[in-house]
Amino acid sequence: MKSPAKAVPILVIAIVAGAAAAEWPKGYVAYQNTESPDGQYGIIVPTVDESGEPTEGEQVNYLANLKTHQVLDKIAGSDFYEHQNHAGLSTIWADDSSWCVVEYDGRFAFFSISILELKGSRVIQTDIGQEIDGQLTNVINKQTHQTEKHGMGGSDTTFRLGDDRKLRVRATATTDPKQRTENGGYYALFQGTFDVRTKKWLATDARPLKRDQFDASSTAFTDLDTQLEHTSFETQDKTQWLDERMNEVYNVVRVVLPPNRFAKIKQEQMEWLKKRDAVGSVEEKHKLMEARIRALQDLLW
């Protein structure tokens, strides 16, 4: 992070729920993978009929109590229904099920990102997507030399929720999501830490990326265990795969860290490589590589 964030307006909406909770609306279903860790809460959305159209005219989404089958609050700005094309909805919950991040996505970029907090009988909604989008857009515009908002063709976001109620955000954006341009498009990286208690950004940083740095960022910010879970090594060499992942993470660390700090990491990496090369067992080498990738990834947060 280069500097503390400037004070910016944050949209906060507090609505009383509890006793005023409404019954589950007709034609709504709990959306997949949006339930809280304790199974108590989740996002409900309109389902679709045989023609593929939503059964309700208005595609409003709600935070609901899945166990009591009651609606707690309408999600501000929501416009999503089950099986909607080129659109997505995802949530990441805190371990104690007291708050979550809700993200709505289009085909290539997010539409909105909000924090939902359960405070007794209240649901507090805080928009953070506008600040992320604004900073990414500013970086893109500086590269394109445009003064008006430049529409981004693609963006990707990753979050870490802390027990201290701090939300750490990493987001990238590009004007060429399909990489149709031979020389590439324009690329940007946003890093920020948001204090859920005070509703303030504690620090933000947005900067341009090169194409290879942008390509590597997906690997760098995605948890290694998640990548391993979705990768088959029946047709590819695991040692080579891990080496490629490590190089990508290392290159993003080079971009993010200040030069003096990265110089120390570079020296550590050289010493680590000697240790890895001295290991005879393939299994032990894989363990060392996985541990090193995780250690490098932690530096990005």
DSSP 28-86: EEEPTT---TTSSEEEEEE-B-TTSSBSSSS---EEEETTTTEEEEEPTT----TT-TT
Whole-structure pTM value: 0.85
- Which helix (H) or strand (E) segment holds residue 2: the answer is none
Q: Write 145-150 long-range contacts (CB < 8 A, 24+).
A: 150/175
Residue 65's pLDDT band (boundaries 50, 70, 90)? very high
CA distance 107 to 85: 8
- Which helix (H) or strand (E) segment holds residue 133: the answer is helix 129-144
28 vs 3, higher pLDDT: 28
Per-residue model confidence (pLDDT) at position 107: 80
Least confident of 16-25, 59-68, 139-148, 263-272: 16-25
pLDDT digits (tens, 9 = 90+) for 12-62: 554 444 445 688 998 999 999 999 999 999 999 999 876 666 666 668 999
CA angle 41, 227, 100 (to 5 degrees): 20
**Average per-residue pLDDT in the chain?**
88
pLDDT digits (tens, 9 = 90+) for 212-230: 999 999 999 999 999 999 9
